[in-house]
Structure 1
């Protein structure tokens, strides 16, 4: 499940009229931690900053549970939606608030995109509010690099390396030349081919005694 973290970056920005203005801009990042989110925003913005002051002013987790994307949209709207359930014991309605971010170019498009994104939802719901945010951009998780980091970490584990050594030794005894191994923790995968060092052929039994 995505964890959306808001990162605010403060830096000297070149304006359209050529002047330089110090601005603070919010970005949203799908990351496992605030540290990772801060590093991601710094990485994304560094190529566009030519000198001057740059710093991360704040990093906070948000309550956004999902994002409805629209590549043609240039703004992000936060929708507060209440899911309605019925308490069977008291026969009263219970409302649970959820926040969904919608990418769109206008308020009307945000509403339409939200309704379209909710198609197929069986639960009853009501829209409480739709507000335009000041988000400059939203960065999805970099799954490929994250998977590689997690897989490398697993392969460096001493316990894993001991098992690999035992397996390689057993393969060498059996004359296997190479083995392709895969590391997986349920969501990350990394494969590697290991060349098996061959031991010298064992002498054949002497039939002459």
Structure 2
């Protein structure tokens, strides 16, 4: 069962990787991990990347990602896009319209397909995609 207090964390790691030419190179990579705490996020990223670690490995940064949800309808895609979506809601006490925004992380092949995936996922006429951009995130590790 999924714990509702979990958040998404953006985690940057520095590690040794073998390049196509066989040489070792230190690289910086960014991932998203679902966890309840910073410590759990560090433990999970280390655990998830353990099979790929060859030598030095350091978690260099962990921050809370503001994503409300991950949209991964296209799990074969190798890119992730950050979409800022604006909603217009009615404030029941004042009767005024209120604009709120949420961030979504979308796994997709292209910017256009990411935008289409967000629209189909939300399926709501009261939403506007304010911005969408490609990220450097390589993978997302969600809890099952």
Shared fold (TM-score greater than 0.5)? yes
| TM-score, with structure 1 as normaliser | 0.62
Higher Rg of the two aligned structures? 1
In the alignment, structure 1 residue 40 sits paired with structure 2 residue 44: yes
**TM-score normalised to structure 2 length:** 0.88
Deviation for aligned residue 1:48: 1.2
Q: Which runs of 4+ in 1 moved over 6 A?
A: none
Q: CA RMSD in A?
A: 1.8
2:30 alignment partner, one of 20, 26, 31: 26
Task: Identify which of 70, 81, 87 aligns with 1:83.
Answer: 87
More strand by share: 2
Distance 1:85 1:103 in 2: 27
What displacement does 1:65 show? 0.3
Structure number with greater CO (CA < 8 Å, separation at least 6) is 2
1:102-149 per-residue CA deviation (whole Å, 9 max, x = no partner) reads: 110111110111111112x4x71111100111111100114xxxxxxx
User: Which of 54, 59, 62 in structure 1 is aligned with 2:57?
Assistant: 54
CA distance in 1, matches of 2:114, 2:106: 6
- Of 64, 69, 86 in structure 2, the residue corresponding to residue 66 of structure 1 is 69
Q: Is residue 133 of structure 1 aligned with residue 121 of structure 2?
A: no
User: SS at 1:136's partner residue?
Assistant: strand
Structure 2 gaps of 5+ residues are: none
- Deviations along 1:2-51, one digit per CA (max 9) or x if unpaired, are 41011111111112222222111111011111111111111111211222
Aligned counterpart in structure 2 of residue 16 of structure 1, from 14, 20, 35: 20
SS at match of 1:39: helix
What CA distance in whole angstroms lies between the structure 2 residues aligned with 1:92 and 1:15?
57
Alignment of 1:118-157 (within 5 A): 118-119=122-123, 121=124, 124-142=126-144
Structure 1 gaps, min length 5: 143-209
